[in-house]
Amino acid sequence: MKTIRLTTAQALVKFLVAQRILINGREEKLFPGVLAIFGHGNVTSLGVALDEERKNIRTWRGQNEQGMA
């Protein structure tokens, strides 16, 4: 097995993408997407990691908490 170097944010996003669940005998993504308000205390590299995996996990970006509700 080959070692790959990842930031904490990259490892977290790859972990979320890898999670699967069986529903009616079909394998589905456990986390098909995430909600984010960047600039509200999020880890700074989390946005970059989500962008790198955008083909595997959708990101819905809100401007404030009220807009996300």
Q: How confident is the model over 43-60, as pLDDT tens digits?
A: 678 888 999 999 999 998
Say whether 51 sits in a helix, a strand or coil.
Answer: helix
- Confidence (pTM): 0.79
pLDDT at 43: 63
Name the residue among 5, 25, 27 with its Cα closest to residue 14. 5
**Residue 66 above 90 pLDDT?**
no
